[in-house]
Amino acid sequence: MTAAELPAALRLLRREIRRWKEPAVGVVQHATRKPDPFLILLSTVISLRTKDAVTGAASERLFALARSPEALAARTESEIARAIYPASFYRVKARTLKGIARDLLDRFNGKTPGTLDELLTLKGVGRKTANLVVTLGFNKPGICVDIHVHRISNRWGYIRTKTPEESESALRKKLPKRYWIEYNDLLVPFGQNLCAPVSPRCSQCKLTRFCDRVGVVKSR
């Protein structure tokens, strides 16, 4: 995929993803009148290595328990763990979530920071999580690169990188800024439902004319 082809491909992808469920973190973003960066941060931590259906339900149970750093810090790790079970590594995540709440109270006056650098100082918050909070919580430019974004961007031939970290750097240089916020929202459902890691459903894909099929050995 060339830089000139990207706008047409993304326009088509915007239409295509309407038939699939929105990723769980996006659902959390739209569930309140105004995006709440703290709730998006919690939901994103829960979502790591966890299916969207589990993430959504676990997030709702946790929000019923606590919707602020003060309330979450007052809960025990066991209470938090029970709320987010069966999210993967739920005990570790419970410890992380409580630690984040305490850190926000101690260093940020109970407010979720709105910059990538500040978010990355929170223990347990990596670049994917930080970028999602910046984009979904604050509507600021950021590029969230998970395994879907990394894989598909390289499969298209738009970038050529070996790791998600390298992909974020490459996309920051090449991807027009107007697409930064929505890029993850478009590619994640596409990767979950059609452009699979192994044997993607190329026969059903309307973006094949833009795709270089880099690394595709077998498809359906």
| 30 is a domain residue | no
Same domain assignment for residues 100 and 14: no
| 215 is a domain residue | no
Element (H, E) at 95: helix 90-107
| 122 is a domain residue | yes
Same domain assignment for residues 123 and 154: no
pLDDT at 31: 59
Number of domains composing the chain: 2
Cα separation values, 116 from 33, 34, 61, Å: 24, 20, 27
| 29 is a domain residue | no
Same domain assignment for residues 16 and 42: no
Q: How many residues does the chain have?
A: 220
Same domain assignment for residues 52 and 125: yes
- The whole domain housing 160 covers 6-21+143-210
Fill in the amino acid letter for 8.
A
| 26 is a domain residue | no
Same domain assignment for residues 130 and 152: no
| 220 is a domain residue | no
Cα separation values, 74 from 4, 17, 40, 85, 131, Å: 52, 40, 19, 19, 27
Quote the tokens at residue 72: 């979450």
Same domain assignment for residues 79 and 133: yes
| 219 is a domain residue | no
Average confidence (pLDDT) per 10 residues, the chain, 220 residues: 96 92 69 82 91 90 96 98 97 98 98 96 94 91 92 98 96 96 91 94 95 94
pLDDT at 36: 92
pLDDT at 51: 86
Quick one: how far is CA 34 from the chain centroid? 19
> Cis (ω within 30 of 0) for the bond into 113?
no
Dump the DSSP string for 6-64.
HHHHHHHHHHHGGGSPPPHHHHHHHTSSS--HHHHHHHHHHHTTS-HHHHHHHHHHHHH
Cα separation values, 145 from 67, 96, 142, 149, 165, Å: 27, 21, 10, 5, 8
Same domain assignment for residues 96 and 182: no
Instruction: Assess contact for 206 and 12: CB atoms under 8 A.
Output: yes
pTM of the model: 0.84
pLDDT at 52: 82
| 120 is a domain residue | yes
pLDDT at 38: 96
pLDDT at 122: 97
Residue that is last in its domain, among 90, 108, 138: 138
pLDDT at 32: 63
Instruction: Assess contact for 40 and 81: CB atoms under 8 A.
Output: no
Residue that is last in its domain, among 138, 164, 181: 138
pLDDT at 199: 93
